[in-house]
Structure 1
Amino acid sequence: MTETVFARPTSDRRRWWILVVLALSTLVLIIDNMALTVAVPPLAADLGASAPDIQWVLDSYLLVFAGLLLTSGSLGDRFGRRRVMVIGLTLFGASSLLAAFAADPTQLITARAVMGVGGALIMPSTLSILITVFDDTERPKAMAVWSTAATVGFVGGPVVGGALIAWFWWGAVFLINVPITLIAIVAALVLMPESKGPWRKADPLGAALSSIGMTAVVWTIIELPHDTNVLVPLTIGVTSLGAFVFWELRTPSPMVPLGLFKARNFSGGSLALTLSQVANGGLRIVVTQYLQFVLGYSPTRAGLTFLPMAIGSLTCNWLGATLGQTVSNRSRVAIGLTLYAAAFGWMSTFSPDAGVLTVSAALLVLGCGGGLAVPAAIAALMGTVPPEQAGVGSALNDTVQQLGAALGVAALGSLVSGAFVAAMPDGSPTSIGDAVRVPALVGAAGTAFTDAMSTTFAISAAAVLAAAVLALVVMRDQKTLVAL
């Protein structure tokens, strides 16, 4: 069986330069968030930030970003995707400058929240512009470049952040964003044509309900590992999102075309991405703790250990783009997710004294799986989105991935933490970082954390394997229609 995919014809000779701008815009978002993870200790010491302050530095961005994604995608379709992206880049660059020279935690938290607004305007615009500029034959290669930028940011962010902090100070992880956003803004204005959907009546109620609902749900997920008393935000989130769906299905001018989920490739691709992101969400935080606190790696060595994952992802990104005309998105998603599940299964067998080759090989397989599956899933679901709805379609894709990643961090983090505490002697520290500072607990802490990680990764393997089966059952091979 087949399912229609819309092709976007193009004759713009600048499209590959446009892709560079889109990749650069994506790269700056991901590098910033990943580099911040290594900047937390020095900025906390310099600003006198408490643990709650640091939590808000991290979460203020995520809450605003997640809450505004759907609205920003709709704004791009309505007012122009290039315009919205340029506004987002301007906000992101300006607030990065403020963050770099913040004098206290409140200033930094405020700057991070504004960066979240900028990020929410940028991310859906990059993908929606990509699928309107490139036709069906060139889109797999363009998607590979775009995904490569995301992978480079994911793996390279902590390395770049560590180098900037070593050479300069913690504010440099924000300051580096300013020249990058300036270059992207100028290039976008010079090279990129404007694109938008047909005029539609605004949907302020839908925008408000989606923002309140997404923010409350993400807040619940963030707080769940630390505070089980989340009934109020959970109720607000579920109620708001339920009201949003009810309203969008009945209003004559919906902000989000929920009918997209009737397309099996859109719903199947979204489900596959969500389940894989749930598994992937806790990956870095769990593996990073394993490398540093169990195997004794330095932060720099731990960051470099992820390089095989990047190599595998980049290689299979391009392999997938090459196979795009002969192997369907559905098949590439299923094969990639199967490799992904195999890697998680392999990591569930790690011991407290695993060698670097074993860890690197497992991460290489993981990268290969993600490099095949994620771009194919995104291409499949975005291929079913009509050009006039590219912005909000891209925002839906970003939203399901954000929810999956946030849920993964909360759920898998809680599983590891709970299993670790249960395996340790009574009265022991509740975190692996604190436990390994007690000489008498080093061995027990390493074993307990590794066992907890193994259980968590076995669950992750099962979740991703289920996603692979769902991809085969739900998704369909595509046929192309040219959208006039």
Structure 2
Amino acid sequence: MTTNPPAPARIPEAVHRRRWVILGVLMLSLLIVVLDNSILNVAVKTISEPAPTGLGASQGELEWAINSYTLVFAGMLFTAGLLGDRLGRKKMLLAGLLVFGIGSLLAAESGSPAALVAFRAVMGFGAAFVMPATLAILMNVFERDEQPKAIGIWAAGVGLAIAIGPITGGLLLDHFWWGSVFLINVPIVALALVLMVVLVPDSKDPNPGRIDPVGVLLSILGLVLLVYGIIEGGRLADFTDPTVLATMGAGLAVLVLFVVHQKRSDHPSIDVTYFKNKVFSAAIGAIALVFFAMMGVTFFSVFYLQSVRGYSPLESGLMLIPLAAAQLLFAPRARLVVDRFGNKAVCTAGLLIIAGTLAAFATLDADTPIWLLEVVFFLMGTGMAHIMTPVSVVIMQALPREKAGSASALSNTFRQVGGALGIAILGSVLSAAYRSGIEGDLAGLPAGARHAAGESIEATLGVARSLGERGEALVAPAHQAFLDAMHVTALCGAGVALLGALVVALFLPGRPPAADAPAETAEPVGAGR
């Protein structure tokens, strides 16, 4: 009687032995992308100052320095994940790091706000190939039973970058010119490239099929139009503007056409039937909603700390340490909580914590004890840790391993679109509420100056400084108008987080019965490296 030979290990032994080192290299690559955005949030105030201190960027130019990156990043994410699955994730990651490094070097030497906006777009293009590849490679060097732990550490790396970015940015701005916040990326990219070549294995879909050029173009065009419309609506603080409505409508129409094309294609870029799975769709939706709430609200925390409280960039960066510490502490351990209570209970609780911390911003004023804000940030990081890790595991394990790049890209695309919506919509709420609160105190200014001064708290304080002693009377009203606007915006963000809690409470699975545990560790049919 003959017996079948034992099935080969899913992961080659040589790769399995160095899997934790590989995870460290992937986290270094991820660190660069996340760190860059958190650095820029600290540096926006400096870049807005006149040369030689900054670039003299206007509020609109500052927004586009952030948004050009977001626009290209969001537009290319899905395509980047698709190409990684088909051509090799390591190749795409190396190419993305190289482009990101070149963009960082050019951004550091920008001579004008327009040049900075353009080079930030180059950085976004490179980052789009880095972010999905890190998680996709992770899924292909860890066996299924270790993936939750690895994803938890990966998510903790995001928390570490959130803290390191503002602190690094503050230190650099205290000692060097504004461009140093981009130049710091270059040596990190160089190190990551070397380690990537030496240590990280390549992987791709063993049966990728043909690339669907029509689907690729439709996905890029649809995402770019949608995100551009969102950004423009936020910039104008008017989502009823005909151009904004037309652009967003065109983006949605192209994305609908993309879905129809995918359903009819014999070699689709993504199997849209995955979205019929309520668990998968709820997890994707939860990521979009939590980043809508978080990005829209944390964007104004920099101005609260620096413009209202008077902290330096370095000091405001140090304030975020509790948020990162909580993610570092809880994200790698979130899987243990999920094992005990299930995805539904853990993610719902995490979103309720996020909603509570965002609502807490509505209680802050100019002299709130800073330790209270630190507690809020720590709780915010705790909530994030218990959302990102389990939701990421649900998304990545819902698709076969060979589709890991597409799964990661879908997750990051929804995260980016949610974040862009949060900044645009909640930013519009903040802007409209601030202008409404301050306009009565600007009545004595000339019409042109009155309009400019009402754009933001920084604009009002800039006008106040230019008026000397006459402008001192504007400082207190500007602070109060900003606080009132922040309170309204924070409550809106809390409402969105509550909506996310409802979605996961309705659709994510609870704790599986003990008898089902062995089935949970099974590989998806057809999974491959």
Structure 1 CA distance, aligned partners of 2:264 and 2:302?
46
Tell me, yes or no, if structure 1 residue 136 matches structure 2 residue 169.
no
Provide the residue aligned with 2:425 in structure 1: 411
Q: How does 1:25-40 map to 2 (within 5 A)?
A: 25-40=29-44
More RCO (CA 8 Å, sep 6+): 1
Aligned to 1:266: 280
Relative to 1, partners in 2 of residues 1:278 and 1:107: Cα closer, same or farther, differing over 3 Å? closer
Taking the aligned partners of 1:108 and 1:408, their CA distance within structure 2 comes to 23
Superposed CA offset, 1:378-411 (max 9, x none): 1111110111111111100000000111111111
Aligned partner letter, 1:291: L
Q: 8 Å contact 1:221–1:410 — kept in the other structure?
A: yes
Q: Which has the larger radius of gyration?
A: 2
The answer to whether residue 310 in structure 2 is matched with residue 299 in structure 1 is no
* Partner SS for 2:234: coil
CA contact (8 A) 1:64 1:215 kept: yes
Q: Does 1:219 align with 2:233?
A: no
Query: Match for residue 20 of structure 1?
Result: 24
Q: Structure 1 CA distance, aligned partners of 2:352 and 2:45?
A: 37
Counterparts of 1:413 and 1:91, CA distance in 2:
30
Whether 1:93 aligns to 2:101 is yes
Q: Give the match for residue 351 of structure 2.
A: 337
> 1:8, 1:157 → 2: CA distance?
37
Taking the TM superposition and a 5 Å limit, the aligned residue runs for 1:388-467 are 388-426=402-440, 428=442, 429-430=453-454, 431-436=456-461, 437=464, 438-467=471-500
The CA distance in 2 between the partners of 1:161 and 1:257, in whole Å, is 41
Moved more, 333-342 or 52-61: 52-61
Q: Report the residue type matching 1:14 in the other structure.
A: R
Identity %: 37
Aligned to 2:368: 354
Q: Provide the residue aligned with 1:181 in structure 2.
A: 189
Tell me: CA distance 1:9–1:470, structure 2 relative to 1, closer, same or farther (3 Å).
farther
Residue 150 of structure 1: aligned partner: 158
Q: Does the alignment pair 1:318 with 2:332?
A: yes
Aligned counterpart in structure 2 of residue 61 of structure 1, from 69, 75, 82: 69
1:468 aligned counterpart, secondary structure: helix
Provide TM-score, normalisation by structure 2: 0.85
Letter in structure 1 aligned against 2:286:
A
1:392 aligned partner, one-letter code = S
The answer to whether the Cα contact below 8 Å between 1:91 and 1:118 also exists between their aligned partners in 2 is yes
Aligned residue in 2 for 1:247: 261
Q: Give 5+ residue unaligned stretches, structure 1.
A: 1-6
Q: Secondary structure at the match of 2:340?
A: coil
Q: Deviations over 1:448-476 (max 9, x none)?
A: 32222222222222221221222121112
- Which residue is 1:257 aligned to? 271
Which consecutive residues of structure 2, in runs of 5 or more, have no partner in the other structure? Answer: 1-8, 443-452, 465-470, 513-519
| Aligned counterpart, 1:481 | 522
Deviations 1:188-243 (A, max 9, x none): 22211211111311111111111111111111111113323323322321221121
Kindly indicate whether the alpha-carbon contact (under 8 Å) linking 1:8 and 1:482 is maintained by their aligned counterparts in 2. no
Q: For structure 1, which segment, 98-107 or 215-224, has the greater mean C-alpha deviation from structure 2 after superposition?
A: 98-107
CA distance in 2, matches of 1:296, 1:174: 24
SS at match of 1:401: helix
The answer for the alignment partner of 1:468 in structure 2 is 501
Residues 452, 110 of structure 1: alpha-carbon distance in 2 compared, 3 angstrom cutoff: closer
- Amino acid in the other structure paired with 1:226: R
Report deviation, 1:9.
5.6
In 2: Cα distance, 1:104 partner to 1:420 partner? 28
Q: How many pairs does the alignment contain?
A: 478
State the secondary structure of the residue aligned to 2:363: coil
- The aligned counterpart of 2:395 is 381
C-alpha separation between the residues in 1 aligned to 2:305 and 2:187?
33
SS at match of 2:204: coil
- Match for 1:124 among 127, 132, 140? 132
Query: Within 1, Cα distance between the matches of 2:458 and 2:144?
Result: 49
> Does the 8 A contact of 1:30 with 1:154 survive in 2?
yes
- Let me know the Cα RMSD of the aligned residues: 2.2
1:407-453, Cα deviation, whole Å (9 max, x unpaired): 11111111122122223343623222233544223333333322222
**Distance (Å, rounded) in 2 between the aligned partners of 1:213 and 1:26:** 26
Q: Are 1:164 and 2:205 matched, yes or no? A: no
